[in-house]
Amino acid sequence: MKKNKCIFTFSKMLSATSNAHEVEISQKVQETFGEDRISLLPDDLLVHILMFVPTKDVVATMILSKRWRTIWTVVPRLEFEDIWGSTNGKHESIWWFLDKSLQLHKAPLLESLCIRLGQKCPTDVDVTKWVASAVDRYVRKLRFDLRWSAKPTSMPNSLYTCKTLNELKLSNKILLDVPPSVCLPSVTKLYLCDVVYKDEVSFVRLLSSCPILRDLLVIRCKEDDNVKVYRVKVPSLEEFSYTNDRPLSHGNDVGEIARSVVLDCPALRQLYIYDSSGDSYCIENMPCIVRAGIDIFFAYPDKKFLRYLSAATSLSLTLTHGLVVMCRPDNFSQLVDLMISPFYSDWLEQLMLMLKNNPKLKSLTIDDDHNIPLLWNKPDHVPECLASHLECFKWLSYKGKDEEK
């Protein structure tokens, strides 16, 4: 009954508005805000203004006057969000509103479509047709976050051959079943946030179909997303952000393949990794790194991995025992900006060795809320960078010693 009432209300908004009603609204606008100058603006300018207004408010402008009835239908940016659901019972009509809005939309080119749907999204809704509709409108930026209670759903095949798509972000209950015909020639940004892959082939196909991909962001939280070896081989990639927050992998069961990440990105300049899963890392080609943030807690990066970081001028490191075991202080002699976050007790000696071999360091930040280790070999002299060219030093969350209180 509520849904029918909502449909009737929306239909009334779409139906012809009487002249008397238009005059009444116009008079109220003038009485409240003075002269209605915005309606005197050309359509192109009105559409540009509405691009920065929430979609639900854009659609509501149709009741202002006869002229405004169709302006909203050519606004090239649409955003629909219902992550948490409504507490007043109106959330049942959101899906119909989204459906109807996309049906009536007439923009020849869709600049951006963002859809974020929460657990209250009905499982019988055909969400893929919204994506297909966006592809038919030559969408450039597509962001789809689905968190319903049903199993992950596949995207329409037309998405994987969209020639206009520049930015693609898929999150949560999305199944990537990538066909052999995939071709995404314009995609420069790809965000894959806790999605599920049909298999490793689908992931490899997706990346290889993006010849000008520059920015890749991956978040993995599921215990099993059907990919054991996460192979990132993208010649054009310049920035890679990888977060693996899955449960710690033990990988000792008979027949189980150890999970790993393989990077082959010759143009990569920025690398950010946060991994608490214990997965291993293998670097095949990564010679151009300038900026990196490495937080790998339960794995031992190999020497090749660390060697590729040696050209970095800006580095953020979580100092784990495994990293210190594999690390040579002279690996990081090009650093200008260094931030360390100690993850074990004996870290000061390693830091002093790193400082001794950093002739260019200008900024040093320590993020640690523990006391300074009591047992450590104090250096015979102050590292040169501290005495000569260090410009900025920060110790975040510093608690000091008891005698300093």
Residues 31-64: tens digit of each pLDDT = 555 555 666 677 777 767 777 777 677 677 666 6
pLDDT for 240 equals 98
Quick one: pLDDT band at residue 402, thresholds 50, 70, 90? low
pLDDT for 92 equals 53
C-alpha dihedral sign at 272, 250, 190, 206: positive
pLDDT for 194 equals 95
Residue 116 CB neighbours (<10 A): 17
CB 380 within 8 Å of CB 353: no
Which of 156-165, 204-213, 353-362 has the lowest average pLDDT? 353-362
Domain boundaries, the chain: 317-405
Query: For all residues of the chain together, what is the average pLDDT?
Result: 79
Which of 50-64, 141-155, 348-362 has the lowest average pLDDT? 50-64
DSSP assignment of 251-300, as one string?
--STTPPPPEEEEE-TT--EEEEEE-S--EEEEEE-TT--EEEEEE-SS-
Q: Left (φ > 0), alpha (ψ -120 to 50) or beta: where does 81 sit?
A: beta
Q: Which residues pair with 319 in a beta bridge?
A: 342
Q: Average of pLDDT values for 275-288?
A: 87
pLDDT for 255 equals 41
Quick one: pLDDT band at residue 14, thresholds 50, 70, 90? very low
Give CA separation, 301 vs 103, 262, 355, in Å.
52, 12, 21
Q: How many Cα atoms within 13 Å fall on the side-chain side of residue 344?
A: 16
Q: Average of pLDDT values for 99-125?
A: 81
CB 103 within 8 Å of CB 75: no
Percent with pLDDT over 70 in the chain: 72
Residues 79-108: tens digit of each pLDDT = 888 755 554 445 455 667 777 777 777 788
Length of the chain: 405
